[in-house]
Amino acid sequence: MKSRAVATPTRTKEILQTYGFSFKKSLGQNFLIDVNILKNIMVEAGIDKSVNAIEIGPGIGALTEQLAQHADRVVAFEIDQRLLPILEDTLGEYENVEVINQDILKADVAQVIADHFHSDQPVRVVANLPYYITTPILMKLLMERLPIDSVTVMIQKEVADRMAAEPNTKSYGSLSIAVQYYTEAKVVLNVPKTVFMPQPNVDSSVLHLEMRKAPPVEVEDEDFFFDVVKATFGQRRKTLMNNLARHFKGDMDKDELRKRLNEVGIDPSRRGESLSMEEFALLANILYK
């Protein structure tokens, strides 16, 4: 007989009381208490028995339980040792779940994938991420070019909007470019704060990132490309020219910068938020040369 779903207010309270568990603010712990939202996440993430799933921060197993029911195999990284006995209890009936007590930022994820999954099956990351560490976790997953097909994460709404933002919008910035260089990004669900325990102060969104086979633009040097992008957003209200002059001070004067911007047909008086990824690539490549 299947036990009652973890992701309900009553069951969550029961589990927390049984184990005398108290939330650690420093770990950004907010547990989901709505099964329907979890089922929607399964659909948006494309989880079925033909795929493997990696979860980050399973908490008491609300999302993990759904992954165990829908995916072939599941590996979950949990940093908080106090949660291990709880997870053993809530996930006891699922033989396809492995919980690893490790900080995802220090983990060799590629090795874990090689050790736990069949190489012919797609790997998808699905997680309800702690707000305070969302960006470092996602950038690690993207920059290590892991053999994963997609990442579907519940994160702070404002951060999800920034990651999926288009040029000429308030949310568009260096984070949008960094994420969209590696993935196709889309906000697929908006989630009210009322479906969490304890309730966070902000609303959440589910962001789906489909990994690209190759970046959408060709750049001479990736680090330099991201440096230039960051520099152009250094002070949002300033022009490209002013931000770049500040960044390249001592290496390139304004005349040289103006000459190079003109070569690629980019008006120096524009602002960073008006440039597309293609224009950023042109800009970085001409400055690199």
Q: Residue for token digits 């440039």? A: 275
Q: Is 189 annotated for ligand binding?
A: no
Q: What is the DSSP string of 100-151?
A: E-S-TTTS-HHHHHHHHS-TTS-EEEEEE--GGGHHHHHHHHHHTT-S-SEE
CB 258 within 8 A of CB 241: yes
Tokens of 286: 């001409």
Give the CA angle between residues 244, 280, 157 to the nearest 5°. Answer: 100
- One-letter amino acid for residue 12 of the chain: T
> In this structure, what DSSP letter does residue 250 have?
T
Q: Is 96 annotated for ligand binding?
A: no
Element holding 279 (H helix, E strand)? helix 277-288
> In this structure, what DSSP letter does residue 61 have?
T
The side-by-side arrangement of strands in the sheet containing 204-211 is 97-100, 74-77, 52-56, 123-128, 150-156, 204-211, 183-191
Element holding 74 (H helix, E strand)? strand 74-77
CB 233 within 8 A of CB 162: no
Q: Is 36 annotated for ligand binding?
A: no
Say which residues have a Cβ less than 8 Å from residue 216's Cβ, sequence separation at least 6: 180, 181, 277, 278
Alpha-carbon distance values, 264 to 34, 174, 242, 281, 288 (Å): 51, 20, 18, 10, 13
Q: Is 242 annotated for ligand binding?
A: no
> In this structure, what DSSP letter does residue 251 have?
T
Q: Is 101 annotated for ligand binding?
A: no
What residues form the annotated binding site?
30, 32, 57, 78, 103, 128
What residues form the annotated binding site for S-adenosyl-L-methionine?
30, 32, 57, 78, 103, 128
